[in-house]
Structure 1
Amino acid sequence: MKMTFRHFPLLLVLLGCLWQCANPIAPTGGPRDETPPRIDTLRSTPNLQTNFRPRTITLTFDEWIKLQDANQQVIISPPLQGYTTKIKGKSVIVDLGTKDTLRNNVTYVIQFGTAVKDLTESNPAEDLRFVFSTGPFIDSLELQGQVVDAYTEEPVKEALVLLYENLADSVFRTERPFYFGRTNAQGLFLISNVRAGTYKITALVDADANYRFNQVTEKIAFRAAPVVLREDSIPAISLRLFQEQLPLQLAEVDSSEWRQLKLAFNRAPGDELTLSTTETYLRAATLDTVYLWHQAPQPWTLFLASDTLFYDTLRVPAAPLAAATAALDSLRFAKTSGSPTLNYPSRPYPIRFNRPVSQLDTNRVTLRKDTFPELLPLTWTLDSTDHRLLLLNRPWTEKANYFLTIAPGGIADYWGVPNVDTLRTSWNISERKRFGNIDFQFSSTDSTASYALRLLVKGKPPVATFRLRGTTQYQAQFTGLLPGDYQLEIIEDRNDNGRWDTGSYATQRQPERVVIRILETLRANWDLDVAVDLDSLFQD
């Protein structure tokens, strides 16, 4: 029969029907499918086989399925390299490849997590695992526990937990583990089908997916004592994950602004950074950046060093005083996004300038309250950590508005250059009843213990830092706090340096322990009393 042009529409319809039959799609309408896919055991590779050395493993299901996030969800323990996972019809096929060789007399576990889901409603197959042994029996021991962040104590998800038969410390860096598992969203892990023995256990957030700790930025956890697995069960293991201290490095040097040197580091240098020079300078720091202001008439040398063996030498351009007036822009108030919305009556009022200041001539300064014409006296100081911050003080009146005017020449910067323009600003002093107070009572039986503490609202800079040492009873009072949800971070400061120290795998030093105490919500016009028993918080 000869086909004519009028037959083409019919042919296209037939081809479309055939394509629909060959490519499953999710049906629409009807009740929601909540049943997960189940394995068709008659059409699948048998599970729990012994003396088994497969090349491919096929798991066939009772409905159409899809594969999601297989690279993260499908894991084989002990680890194998070069395996692939794919979908074919209603089957999942795991190809073990030829890159790795199966070990003798070892039980292998393939965990699929939530990778296999039905096509219609994405219901994941429940507890999908395939187990086989290259030896005569299936190992059946289990090890479980949790991985938490060493500082926050929050659970860490998708961390690898690694077991080694080799107990050498170097094994974490040089060998792949004998068994491993992965933590879930709650930081919990379960390593099953392990044979009896003694194992080294570590945890790793594996940045390059090679099952080895080989990058300084990778987070790790370790247990000094090995884990002994016998027929009887052992308690759950807790591992505290941390990142080792990065070696201090100078990332950026910026001397483009006259009289200022900006030093940016790869991390916050803290008090370990030492600056040495014969020149005089002012210093301020914000997180990982250090600012220096100087008056050197000639180029000068600055030596930098730290206790992490960092060392550098910088040549700094001159900043002669005679050139200051021409080189500097106008002295003015700086924009501050972090200024308090409420100002406490018993606290100095802060004013930030665009560069360090040195003198305030109160004869050229007027301060008035509300609409009263009287000039008010005031005193001033400079912030000890940042001379860009001027602190004004006097007996402030609650609910009053204050107006400050600095006439030309009223304030001078670090180089003696005065303001040219009149500077004006205003602020309001809040009522005391809009603030709250916290009174801490600390107790301990060990007067030799040292603690570093931070009081803060989560996600914001600390409102107070303080230390406890050489005492068994201590009281700390904080007044004029903004209402909010505060937490107290208590660091067991083992080396008495006033800060939290992370761990070190090379020296087998665990990170210092931290307890975060969530306080009752502080309300306005409220006194919060908090008793802290340090002994109970840091029980061994």
Structure 2
Amino acid sequence: MQKPQGGPRDLTPPKLLKADPPNMTRNFSAKEINLEFDEYFKLTNAYQEISISPSQEKLPEYNIKKKTLNIKFTDTLSKNTTYVINFGKAIADVNESNVLKNFTYVFSTGNHIDSLSISGNVINSLTQKKEKDVTVMLLPLSQDTSIFGKKKPSIYTATDTSGNFSLNNLHEGSYKIYALKEASPNKIFDNDNELIAFLKDTIIVDKDISNIRLTLFKQIPEKFRVIEKRFDTEGRINLVFNKQLFNPSIKILYPQGLDKDKLVDFSKSKDSASVYLRNLDFDSLSVAFFDNNKPLDTAYLLKGKNETYKRTLQFLYNLSRDGKLKPNTDLNIIATIPIENYNSSLISLTQDSVPVNDLNIQKDTSSVRGYFLKHRWRANSRYELVLDKGAFTDIYGDKNKKTGIRFVVDKPENYSVLTLKVTVPDTAKNYIVEFLTEQGKTLRSDIITKSGNIIYRNYLTDKYRVRVIYDDNKNGRWDSGNVASQTQPENIWISDKVISLRPNWDAEENLDIPKEANP
């Protein structure tokens, strides 16, 4: 005996059983439309998702009665015109919210229905993979500047699971086409985090058009902004920028005298920073931001002058999750707060329970919080690092509690050497060769202008990919596009081959960079 299991989960969206008047009706003269579905359904964000092309000043009314959707027109329909009602993602079943995507109802007030179409696909510029659920928008050329980024377009569709799209029942004319992967479903490009794509050239629709390729990119904001600024519970100032910088710097303008003692830690991506101040006896702060010494912006922060902060000096290490140190590397000790000084007599290291004398500890000059412990590590040996109480003192005078870490050095045979034999198509151009994990994380980048070898030493046995950026402006980094200036992102090509590195093995692979990223 057991409770009823309920059967398999419903994965099917509502299906249209009957339309009155029928879909594709000519000489349409009705005042309303009734659409009957095979199950109970709901409308979500109807006035955002549903659009009518050509658009109307007065929007229709949408009402649900059991399994039927009633659409009542409140505006006059133009004569001899093809109308397309696109329901977007508005229609979904009640129980499982399965969405009926890209459902359209078409009719004409004349004896002709527009039948031209545009089809193609949308890809992500960085991954070179096709993207699903992207809104593809078509704007009549006469409306482009007045609608794009301001109003929802009336002609749009969404890409399917294979990244393909089709815009149908189009009228002859000149159009601009865009693709938008949204942060919020309003079909308006109004957020820096949204991905956008466009064709620079106008599309002349006088016949069916296919194989349109739209490349999504995240547009770099033209104006620099600090999107987050706050003091955390330790008194550190956390700053987040709206874009990546090249060579950032920060200056404390007010109170006077604080700037000389500040410590700044920029993220690797240079789109955020942490600022440490020894003296926190102030109630407001003025900070200036620069890139390549060029002024960008100024930010103001407020704090209580007598606020108290709770700090605990802790440490992180460059060990794997299973407590292993990569061969032929130093042990990186990263404090959570910048260090003022340390006492080497309170730092000890044992190798297989035998003390190691004359420890070689060096400051990491690239970090305000990092130190290196250098040693001739031996594979299979067991190490224990102990930082006794007071071994490190941070810039606020706080000392660490007794702590430490146990680890082993990974076996060299678990790592490989790869020689990538690169052939470039044009020695007058720059290329950036990126070595990626199979999941797409960049491990290393190399700028090249001529054919030759790139050697990757000491990489874990795993699967890797190679990505190439066509560095047109020769600035050593990938540059995104911009809709206002009508510039496309720099081209990217990803090799189809997955490189498998085997234990204790020197591998060789050829990389022939094509002349064009998308031949």
TM-score with structure 1 setting the length: 0.74
Confirm whether residue 357 of structure 1 aligns to residue 339 of structure 2.
yes
Question: Paired residue for 2:266?
Answer: 285
Question: Paired residue for 1:94?
Answer: 71
Q: Match of 1:503, SS?
A: coil
Greater helix share, structure number: 1
Q: Given the superposition, is the C-alpha separation of residues 329 and 203 from structure 1 closer, same or farther in structure 2, using an over 3 Å criterion?
A: closer
Question: Paired residue for 2:353?
Answer: 371
Alignment of 1:191-270 (within 5 A): 191-205=167-181, 211-231=187-207, 233-246=208-221, 247-254=223-230, 261-267=236-242, 269-270=244-245
- Equivalent position amino acid for 2:368 in 1: H
Measured in 1, the distance between the counterparts of 2:332 and 2:370 equals 6
1:335: Cα distance to partner? 4.7
Confirm whether residue 404 of structure 1 aligns to residue 404 of structure 2.
no
- Equivalent position amino acid for 1:158 in 2: D
Q: Is the 8 A contact 2:318 2:325 kept in 1?
A: no
Q: Given the superposition, is the C-alpha separation of residues 280 and 139 from structure 1 closer, same or farther in structure 2, using an over 3 Å criterion?
A: same
Q: Is the 8 A contact 2:228 2:240 kept in 1?
A: yes
Measured in 1, the distance between the counterparts of 2:487 and 2:154 equals 24
Q: Match of 2:489, SS?
A: coil
Deviates more, 1:516-525 or 1:349-358: 516-525
Question: Paired residue for 2:84?
Answer: 109
Question: Paired residue for 2:466?
Answer: 488
Q: Is the 8 A contact 1:45 1:57 kept in 2?
A: yes
Q: Match of 1:346, SS?
A: coil
Q: Given the superposition, is the C-alpha separation of residues 221 and 338 from structure 1 closer, same or farther in structure 2, using an over 3 Å criterion?
A: farther
Confirm whether residue 387 of structure 1 aligns to residue 368 of structure 2.
yes
1:392: Cα distance to partner? 1.6
1:278-297 deviation line (CA, Å, top 9, x unaligned): 61543323465312345679
2:289 paired residue among 292, 304, 315: 304
Measured in 2, the distance between the counterparts of 1:533 and 1:271 equals 30
Q: Is the 8 A contact 1:452 1:467 kept in 2?
A: yes
Question: Paired residue for 1:12?
Answer: none
Q: Match of 1:242, SS?
A: strand
Q: Is the 8 A contact 2:346 2:388 kept in 1?
A: yes
The percentage of aligned residue pairs carrying the same residue is 24
1:391: Cα distance to partner? 1.4
Question: Paired residue for 2:484?
Answer: 506
Greater strand share, structure number: 2
Measured in 1, the distance between the counterparts of 2:90 and 2:189 equals 27
Alignment of 1:452-467 (within 5 A): 452-457=432-437, 462=442, 464-467=443-446
- Equivalent position amino acid for 1:368 in 2: T
- Equivalent position amino acid for 2:474 in 1: D
Question: Paired residue for 2:21?
Answer: 45
Measured in 2, the distance between the counterparts of 1:240 and 1:295 equals 48
Confirm whether residue 130 of structure 1 aligns to residue 105 of structure 2.
yes
Structure 1, unaligned runs of 5 or more: 1-27, 318-326
1:224: Cα distance to partner? 0.4
Measured in 2, the distance between the counterparts of 1:113 and 1:298 equals 56
Confirm whether residue 152 of structure 1 aligns to residue 152 of structure 2.
no
Confirm whether residue 529 of structure 1 aligns to residue 504 of structure 2.
no
Measured in 1, the distance between the counterparts of 2:99 and 2:274 equals 54
Measured in 2, the distance between the counterparts of 1:235 and 1:382 equals 59
Q: Match of 1:441, SS?
A: strand
Question: Paired residue for 1:440?
Answer: 420
Q: Is the 8 A contact 1:48 1:133 kept in 2?
A: yes
Q: Given the superposition, is the C-alpha separation of residues 291 and 513 from structure 1 closer, same or farther in structure 2, using an over 3 Å criterion?
A: same
Q: Is the 8 A contact 1:450 1:496 kept in 2?
A: yes
Deviates more, 1:521-530 or 1:192-201: 521-530
2:136 paired residue among 154, 161, 180: 161
Instruction: State which structure, 1 or 2, has the greater radius of gyration over its C-alpha atoms.
Output: 1
Q: Is the 8 A contact 2:233 2:310 kept in 1?
A: no
Q: Given the superposition, is the C-alpha separation of residues 254 and 113 from structure 1 closer, same or farther in structure 2, using an over 3 Å criterion?
A: closer
Confirm whether residue 473 of structure 1 aligns to residue 451 of structure 2.
yes
2:410 paired residue among 430, 445, 450: 430
Measured in 2, the distance between the counterparts of 1:379 and 1:201 equals 61
Matched residues, number: 489
